Amino acid sequence: MDTKLITPFKRPDGTLVLAHYYAPKPVQQAADYVADSLELSRFAAQAQAERIVFAGVRFMAETAKLLNPDTEVILPDAESTCSLVDQTDMERLAAWVAQAKARSDKPVAHVSYINSSVAQKALSDWIVTSRNAEDIIGHLIAQGQRVLFSPDRNMGAYFRYLHPDWDLRVWDAVCEVHDAFRERELDQLFKGWTDGPKYLIAHPESPLPLLKRAHLVGSTTKMLEWVNAYQGAGTIYVATEIELVQTMQAARPDLDIRLAAAYTGCQCHACPYMKKNTLAAVQAAVDGRGGLRIDYIDHALATQAREPLFKMLNFNPENQDAKQSCSQC
């Protein structure tokens, strides 16, 4: 879609519109800033805006509010949730963390993926994104700590596969979009005829059998960088949300970029929660006519949740004594 055809949102001064890469393309093209969860977190922390309309899902808008407590933050649609949040029972998670810490013979760090609720962040020692999770977890383990990783089962399984010596225990929730990718369907794609070699790049929220076969496993930004830098021929299959695949296709029309196949029955791979951020919903939030104001977070809970977020934002792997490196992540 031609970006010149998209009219930026009409907004009052001091209002900033942020959008995730999985938001609908027209919303991305009309937003002030588009990025992955880590960059959006960093941008929100430095924005100093009076109002932020966050075209993403609820945990992202909550994170923006945590980092900007004096800013009005609005989520365009209150139903924009995340399966990783919905699948995580907080009472069970709190018991799991408490028992592990009570029974451990070494220090224990609870590391939560940023795709988590405010309550889960408050229960955490560190927050990570798919871009920095391996560095942070590796640093903690190198310090002699046991790590509890929640909520993403697939990402945790991948780290355990890469580092079988890590003292890492993993929670059990999945992203319903990425978890739908299947190795059997991938086999069919790789058996089909294409001109030149075939490659697979995948987000670490995908199932482990798929990740084991990927030529690159990485965050949204890492995959975009790989595609933009790729020089060569062949077919590139991508295991991630369809909006990002379309962004790749638009950025590199010279390449044969295709969505990796999911289980039979659903081939769309669109996040239903992100797609609630329509142009109309975002404009209504900008105008003050709709959306969910993130004004419900208790002060004490926000203070607890903010601490592990700041740890992540201040973490610099180049300054750590035991930096973990991975060519794929």
Tell whether 189 and 156 lie within a shared domain: no
Q: Which residue has the higher pLDDT, 171 or 37?
A: 171
Judged by DSSP in three states, 194 sits in: coil
Cα–Cα nearest to 112, from 101, 128, 98, 100: 128
Single-letter residue type at 282: V
The answer to whether residue 218 sits within a structural domain is yes
Tell whether 166 and 89 lie within a shared domain: yes
| Distance, CA of 67 to CA of 176 (rounded, Å) | 27
The answer to whether residue 185 sits within a structural domain is yes
Tell whether 114 and 33 lie within a shared domain: no
Q: Give residue for tokens 């295991």.
A: 239
- pLDDT, tens digit (0-9, with 9 covering 90-100), for 119-159: 999 999 999 999 999 999 999 999 999 999 999 999 999 99
Element (H, E) at 190: helix 183-191
Per-residue pLDDT at 327:
32
- Is residue 7 scored above 80 in pLDDT? no
- Tell me what the pLDDT averaged over the chain comes to: 90
In the numeric block, which tokens belong to residue 314? 């201040």
The answer to whether residue 265 sits within a structural domain is no
Single-letter residue type at 133: A
The answer to whether residue 324 sits within a structural domain is no
Tell whether 154 and 190 lie within a shared domain: no
Average pLDDT over residues 51-61: 95
The answer to whether residue 267 sits within a structural domain is no
- pLDDT, tens digit (0-9, with 9 covering 90-100), for 284-293: 999 999 999 9
Tell whether 314 and 250 lie within a shared domain: no
Per-residue pLDDT at 263:
54
Per-residue pLDDT at 49:
85
Judged by DSSP in three states, 292 sits in: strand
Confidence of residue 44 (pLDDT cuts 50, 70, 90): confident
In the DSSP assignment, the letter for residue 6 is: P
The answer to whether residue 326 sits within a structural domain is no
The partner residues of 235 in beta bridges, in order of sequence, read 198, 256
Kindly state the percentage of the chain with pLDDT values over 70. Answer: 91
Average pLDDT over residues 280-303: 95
Per-residue pLDDT at 3:
37
Tell whether 167 and 185 lie within a shared domain: no
Tell whether 187 and 167 lie within a shared domain: no
- Alpha helices per DSSP H over 3-57: 25-30, 37-47
Q: Which of 46-50, 205-209, 280-284 has the least mean pLDDT?
A: 46-50
The partner residues of 202 in beta bridges, in order of sequence, read 217, 239
- pLDDT, tens digit (0-9, with 9 covering 90-100), for 163-196: 999 999 999 999 999 999 988 888 888 888 888 8
Confidence of residue 5 (pLDDT cuts 50, 70, 90): very low
Cα–Cα nearest to 186, from 268, 258, 272, 254: 258
Strands 292-293, 72-75: parallel, antiparallel or unpaired by DSSP? antiparallel
The answer to whether residue 328 sits within a structural domain is no
- Is residue 26 scored above 90 in pLDDT? yes
Confidence of residue 215 (pLDDT cuts 50, 70, 90): very high
| Distance, CA of 283 to CA of 292 (rounded, Å) | 13
Cβ–Cβ < 8 Å for 277, 55: yes
Cβ–Cβ < 8 Å for 135, 323: yes
| Distance, CA of 329 to CA of 317 (rounded, Å) | 13
- Is residue 325 scored above 60 in pLDDT? no
Say how many Å lie between the first and final Cα of the chain, rounded.
30
Ramachandran angles phi, psi of 53, nearest 5°: -100, 115
The answer to whether residue 284 sits within a structural domain is yes
Per-residue pLDDT at 268:
60
| Distance, CA of 209 to CA of 112 (rounded, Å) | 23
Q: Which of 44-53, 130-139, 277-286, 315-324 has the least mean pLDDT?
A: 315-324
Average pLDDT over residues 6-27: 83
Tell whether 55 and 32 lie within a shared domain: yes
- Is residue 261 scored above 90 in pLDDT? no
Any idea what the CATH number is for the domain that residue 239 is in? 3.40.50.10800
Tell whether 169 and 311 lie within a shared domain: yes
| Distance, CA of 293 to CA of 285 (rounded, Å) | 9
| Distance, CA of 329 to CA of 130 (rounded, Å) | 8
- pLDDT, tens digit (0-9, with 9 covering 90-100), for 59-80: 999 999 999 999 999 999 999 9
- Is residue 1 scored above 90 in pLDDT? no
Q: Which residue has the higher pLDDT, 51 or 329?
A: 51
Complete edge-to-edge strand list for the sheet that includes strand 168-170? 126-128, 108-113, 146-150, 168-170
Tell whether 91 and 171 lie within a shared domain: yes
Cα–Cα nearest to 14, from 288, 277, 276: 288
Query: What is the number of structural domains in the chain?
Result: 3
Tell whether 154 and 185 lie within a shared domain: no
CA distances for 189 relative to 245, 259, 307, angstroms: 16, 10, 45
Domain assignment of residue 51, given as a range: 3-81+273-296
Q: What is the pTM of this model?
A: 0.90
- Is residue 302 scored above 60 in pLDDT? yes
Tell whether 40 and 104 lie within a shared domain: no
| Distance, CA of 156 to CA of 261 (rounded, Å) | 22
Per-residue pLDDT at 46:
85
